[in-house]
Structures are given as C-alpha cells and as structure tokens.
Structure 1
C-alpha cells in the first residue's frame, strides 16, 4: 500500500495531486469525482461510477437479471428435497428461496449445505424428505433490502457465517450470495484501477 502512495504522491503534477487526494482520503478511489474535477464527460456503468459506499444490493440484482420479481429460482415447502437439489444442480446455484404452499410468501431458504448436512450426512432420503424439513425457517433468516449497501451485506454474511441472503422489500425480490457481493466489489475496484491507469497514461497538462 505504501508503494502505491509513493507512486501517486503529487510531484508538481495536478493530476497526480488530485488522484493522491482521492485515494488517500478514504482508501477507495472514486473516479467519478476526479473526472468531474477535470471536466471529463466520460460515462461509465452505474455501479462503476460509484464508490463502494454507494453501491446497493439492487444493483447487484440487476447484474444477475433479478431486478424483476419472480426471476429468482424457488421451490415450495412441500417439494421433495431431491427436486430442490436437482434444481440447484441444473442451474449451478447454491440456494433456493422456499415459498409457502400458496402464493409468493417466503417460508425460508434451502441451501446445498442444508442438503449435505441434513440429508447426506444423516443418511436420509431426498426423495421422501420435504424441503420444509431441512430449510432455514423465515424467522431465523438474515435478510437485506434492495437499498442495503453491499459492504453492509457482506459484513452481515461474514458475521453470521452464511453465504446466501434473501432480499426482501415487503416481499421477496431476489437472493444474493457472498460470490455475488465479492464479484461486485472486485469489478468495481478493477474498474477503478483500470480507469486510474487510463488517467495516468493519458495526456494532461
């Protein structure tokens, strides 16, 4: 980190001075502020325009195609665990929203870990065990809303040692995983670093 600061320290160069101030000030480089300071009109995707402190869960859902209610994958409490496992395997996902027998009300979530610990490890039959018997009940769920900051969502997952969190705005609107959050953070920071390189290599007087 000190090496980065030495590279970016201002040396009679207003661009370097501005970059150093942005990076050193909060530890998260924000090129939308820097570009506005230099009158740059370049447009970037919404999530890459923002510092991480301003990126929300809704933007993560949009990148997953879950911005519309019902686009997430689900099962019912009375479905066989076998079918839930098959659904997860076919779609290469690690969890399903579990809905009550009728309607779109959430009853809980079921994860691949539930299947391993409560079915495989205990020698139970996935064909004759219902999802409702192994799921995490709605009352025990850690949830977020669509306007929750992704850093807070990540912190909730780490503190509770969970990998999947339902997104609920009155009703279920999606599901995010630790992979989704880490990917969003990585892409945002990679975008910032790439554009930082572009600025450094660019011609500014």
Structure 2
C-alpha cells in the first residue's frame, strides 16, 4: 500500500513540475489541490477528498443490518453475512444496543477459527472479534489520505466510519478507487491544459 501511495505522489509531483514548466511560456498558473488555477475548473485534489465523499460513491445504501452483527451471534452467521453481501468485515454491536463493541473480519475468522480448529457454530463473535479499545475508526470528515495512512500503518483493510453512531465502512479497495479516480481526473485536466484548452 505504501508503494501505491508513493507512486501516486511521485506521478503527481512529476506532472505538477511539467505543467508548471510548460505554463511559464503562456503565463498560465496551475497548482495541484485546486488552490490556484487560471482554468475554469479547479482540481479538488486528494488533500480535500473526505471519507463522506468516498461513502457516497458506494451507493445509497451504505449502512444497514448487513453491515453489523452482535457479540452473541455465532461466528458462522457473521461469516455467512459477509459472504452474502460480499464484504470482508462487520461492525460488532452489543446485544440489544447500538453501542459499538468491536469489529470482526475475514482475518479474525481465518486466524482464530480455521487456524485453531475451533467451531464457527459454537463460537460467538464476541470471542474472536477485535475489541473496540483496539479498533481504529474515522469520521466522515476525515481526509482520504489520512484514512489511507491509518490503514497502511496499522496493516488493516477495513475502517468503520463513526459520527457518534456508525455511518458506514470503508475498505482499502474504496480508498484505492478514490485515489485512482482523483488521479484520472487530474491527469485528464492536465492533458487538456498542456494541449492548450485552457486560456
């Protein structure tokens, strides 16, 4: 993941330098991040993309019962829920409450059930989940680059989005998709700029 992050940054800086050099002859000003531009459209920049915007790209139903389970649920039911909804983790709530208890991931299942020869039928989610004290979360206004850094540094692939209550979940796939989409838009605008479409 750090390799992807470094490659994106390197590409961004190289293109920025090329455009600034190219623009000296035309008197045009162009800066990444949308802070300064003579073009009619300003680039937003990854520095300004929030987790909320990434959640919006996931579709209207970004939260729901498919996103969580309870501490007293059988692990087999949680895993079936993940498989049915094609997701890699579930937020764990306390029974009868909306209070966060932790998270269960495919990795928890593999390491704590399969590798240890335990029964997913007779083991509860609460026995193998990552407890909320160790849980890493973000808020909807967290910058996507900060979310990526948290995922990279902590070697995790899923982060619950909590604004007082759970509002969604982002994965490393969502983050990479956001980076690629943002870079594609910036590259397109830079290409148009170099061709002289901006005055």
Residues 117-148 of structure 1, C-alpha deviations (whole Å, 9 max, x = no match): 00000111111111111101111111111111
Q: Say whether residues 1:9 and 2:3 are aligned partners.
A: no
Q: CA shift at 1:54, angstroms?
A: 1.3
* CA distance 1:139–1:80, change in 2 (3 Å): same
Alignment equivalent of 2:48, drawn from 41, 51, 54 = 54
Structure 2 unaligned spans of 5+: 1-10
Query: TM-score w.r.t. structure 2 length?
Result: 0.82
Q: Which residues in structure 2 correspond to 1:51-90 (within 5 Å)? A: 51-65=45-59, 70=64, 73-90=67-84
Gaps of 5+ in 1: 23-28
Q: Is the 8 A contact 2:66 2:81 kept in 1?
A: no
Is the 1:110–1:134 Cα contact (8 Å) retained in structure 2? Answer: yes
Alignment partner, residue 98 of structure 1: 92
Inter-partner Cα distance in structure 2 for 1:203 and 1:60: 29
Instruction: Name the CA distance, whole Å, in 1 between partners of 2:174 and 2:74.
Output: 27
Q: State the aligned residue count.
A: 186
Show the 5 A alignment for 1:107-186. 107-186=101-180
User: 2:104 aligns to what SS in structure 1?
Assistant: strand
SS in 2 for 1:60: helix
Deviation at 1:30, TM superposition (A): 3.6
RMSD, matched Cα:
2.5
Query: 1:14: Cα distance to partner?
Result: 2.6
User: Helix, strand or coil: the match of 1:14?
Assistant: coil
